Amino acid sequence: MAEVGFSISLLITLAMTAGAVYFLWRYIEPALTDYAGNSIRGRFWAMICSAVIILPPLLVLTFDLDPYPSHRSLLFAVVARVRWPLLSLFFATLIVAFIALMLHVPREAPLSRTELDDLKRLLDKMEKIRAREILSRAEPTPAINPKELDDLNRLVDKIQDKRKRGGRGDAHSVN
C-alpha cells in the first residue's frame, strides 16, 4: 500500500511540475533569451529554471517517505505525500521569478547630469545652425562655421562614446 501511495504521489508531482514547466516555458524562454542577449544563453537559463522547478518537488517527495507506514486509507497517504512537493513547487517558481528579475536590464537607462547638459548644448547648437541655414538661403553668406561644426561633431562623438561604453548615468542626479 505504501508503494502504491508513493507511486501515485510521484505521478501527481511529476504531472504538476511538468505542467508548470510547460506553461512557463513559452513565457520564460523568450524573456530569458531577451535578457541574456542571445538564444543559446536564453535557452540555457530556461533549462536551469526548468530544473529548478522540477527537481525540488521530487526531492521533497523523497523526504516524506514514511519508514513505518501506518494503516491509513490510500487517499490520505497520497495527500500526505503530495502536500510538501507542491509547496516546494511554489517556492521553486518563486526562485525562477527571482532569477528572471535579477537578469532584467532596463532598456532605457537614465541620463547623467553631464550627458543631459551635453545634449542641451547640442540642441542649442543645432538650433543656431538651423537658424543660420535659413538665413543663408536669404543671404549669400556661408551657412555653417567650420569651427562650430567641429565642436558639434566632438559633442556628438562624446555622447555616443559614453553610450557605447555603457554609461548608465548618475542615479542620484535629478533629471
Report how far residue 151's alpha carbon sits from residue 115's, in angstroms, rounded to the nearest whole number. Answer: 16
CA distances from 85 to 14, 23, 92, 159 (A): 10, 18, 10, 53
| pTM for the full predicted model | 0.45
Cell (9 digits) for 143:
551657412
Cell (9 digits) for 34:
531577451
All structural domains of the chain with their residue ranges: 2-103, 113-164
Specify the pLDDT at position 99: 80
CA distances from 109 to 99, 101, 114, 137 (A): 21, 17, 14, 40
pLDDT confidence bin for 171, thresholds 50/70/90: very low
H or E element that contains 104: none
Specify the pLDDT at position 174: 44
Specify the pLDDT at position 15: 92
Is pLDDT above 70 for 35?
yes
> 120: closest CA among 89, 87, 155?
155
Is pLDDT above 50 for 67?
yes
pLDDT confidence bin for 76, thresholds 50/70/90: low
* Count of C-beta atoms within a 10 Å radius of residue 106: 7
Specify the pLDDT at position 75: 64
